[in-house]
Amino acid sequence: MLAATFYFLLQSPECEEKVAREIEEVVGKEVVTMNHTKELRYLKNVLDEALRLFPPAVP
């Protein structure tokens, strides 16, 4: 899943910039906590889209 997410972000510099900006605004220089993850809405949407396009295979 992470490989697909990185691939898509590399294909879309605008999305990559938006994710980086959101992380910088929400987390800054702190260690990421569960409270931060609730605020990282755009990043969650990006991860959900990667899962939608490339769901994990189940044997």
Position with higher pLDDT, 54 vs 40 = 40
Q: Distance (Å, rounded) from C-alpha 44 to C-alpha 32?
A: 14
Looking at residue 45, what is its pLDDT? 97
Reported confidence tier of residue 59, pLDDT bands at 50, 70, 90: low
CA distance 12 to 17: 9
Q: Dihedral, CA atoms, 31, 35, 39, 40, nearest 10 degrees?
A: 50
Q: What is the pLDDT of residues 6-49, one digit of tens each?
A: 999 999 999 999 999 999 999 999 999 999 999 999 999 999 99
pLDDT over 90 at 2, yes or no: no
Kindly report the pTM of this predicted structure.
0.84
